[in-house]
A = this chain, B = another copy of it.
């Protein structure tokens, strides 16, 4: 074993998973984590919900404190920004932000877990205190404090992905008027039309205004320097707070400057052991690509699950193992008001691009047995390949048990199942829990009719 010292850059989900796993697998290893912030290992995906609940402290989201990390034998160095990486000599260097001095550290093996950054617009007034983006715990803390102190009445949300949906929900919970502003009339890009329709209807039902086709120009401040409107090409929209949820991008600067291969997706290329193009250097989490089990190719899937799973593999392999990452199946989900929205696999557009002949159905079926009180419709969109009958992906939306049902289809992807395989699943039935023909079975039964030589 030549490995004595593992250096991890980044101390949130992937980084701390990797560090913990490396130390657990090989306790004699020296494991150093450089994290530029002061907090590590927090549940970033929980931030919208925490922001929506004034009773909760933002620090509730911290899974592991620096002290707990130290207790695991990890040499955690917060306030350390790594600014350079030399694969040939096995060294990193950077700045100790607390002591304002430079540092250098050698490594036998390195794990890049630099994450992603939230995009932001460079527009006039977007440096004002009422304009936010949400990525780090500090952003969440600032937003909570601003709402608590400034009591904004109206908020404009830029963006229409799942984060914007979650934030709309939470801002309404807090009693704010919410306007989503978006230039292109596309809500939830990449999701199917039936799903988008259901979400838009849900936003509408809860008083969220969606304005598409107009472009933001900047933030307008009042005499006290407080945001009072969003300036657009079609006039002003009054608001005291602007939240940018316009997407994220992988932080690859360090890797790119060191000459590591950047994949087509823009994230750091890795093989299935999470090794980058440089031997002994691995990458995990939002900064890295991930193997996609349906595409059988690298993809970029910046999600908490992928980050944690990749971190574990990268950490174990840094400790001398040779594990392979099973990959993502594209499973994700979120909640918007009372609606659960979830998906797995690939959509019809991607399927077509990759040479499949996608066929799909959308069905609606009650969540519980015939005539059982409390039942709610579950909407399933299911996609398969016409020629082989293979199941390719699905979206499930509903007020009850939508997200849990997507996992059944994630399991089907794991098993490379056909629609026929899904139709033959023995799923649970009990009147208060599920109908005798589960929505998944109904969808499979419809979709199989569109597959060649169905039975």
Contact present for A436 and B404 (CB under 8 Å): no
Contact present for A49 and B372 (CB under 8 Å): yes
Most central of A53, A335, A401, A428 by chain B CB within 10 Å: A428
Contact present for A437 and B308 (CB under 8 Å): yes
User: Is A344 on the interface with B (CB-CB < 8 A)?
Assistant: yes
Q: Which residues of B contact A56 (CB under 8 A)?
A: 371, 373
Query: Given the interface contacts A308-B436, A335-B433, A433-B403, does A53 sit within 8 Å of B373 by beta carbon?
Result: yes
Contact present for A426 and B328 (CB under 8 Å): yes
Contact present for B407 and A405 (CB under 8 Å): yes
Most central of A331, A404, A424 by chain B CB within 10 Å: A404
Contact present for B431 and A43 (CB under 8 Å): yes
Q: What residue in chain B is nearest A411 (Cβ atoms)?
A: B411
User: Is A412 on the interface with B (CB-CB < 8 A)?
Assistant: yes
User: Is A304 on the interface with B (CB-CB < 8 A)?
Assistant: yes
Query: Given the interface contacts A408-B411, A431-B46, A436-B308, does A330 sit within 8 Å of B426 by beta carbon?
Result: yes
Q: Which residues of B contact A406 (CB under 8 A)?
A: 428
Q: Which residues of B contact A78 (CB under 8 A)?
A: none
Q: Which residues of B contact A327 (CB under 8 A)?
A: 424, 426
Contact present for B436 and A43 (CB under 8 Å): yes
Chain A residues bordering chain B, tally (CB within 8 A) = 70
Q: Which of A31-39, A239-247, A413-421 is the interface stretch?
A: A413-421
Q: What residue in chain B is nearest A412 (Cβ atoms)?
A: B411
In residues 382-420 of chain A, which contact B (Cβ within 8 Å)?
401, 403-415, 417
Q: Which residues of B contact A438 (CB under 8 A)?
A: 407
How would residues 101 to 129 of chain A score, 1 for a CB under 8 Å from any chain B CB and 0 otherwise?
00000000000000000000000000000
User: Is A370 on the interface with B (CB-CB < 8 A)?
Assistant: yes
The answer, among B46, B332, B428, for a CB contact under 8 Å with A370, is B46
Q: Which residues of B contact A434 (CB under 8 A)?
A: 333, 403-404
Contact present for B43 and A332 (CB under 8 Å): no
User: Is A194 on the interface with B (CB-CB < 8 A)?
Assistant: no
Q: Which residues of B contact A422 (CB under 8 A)?
A: 411, 414
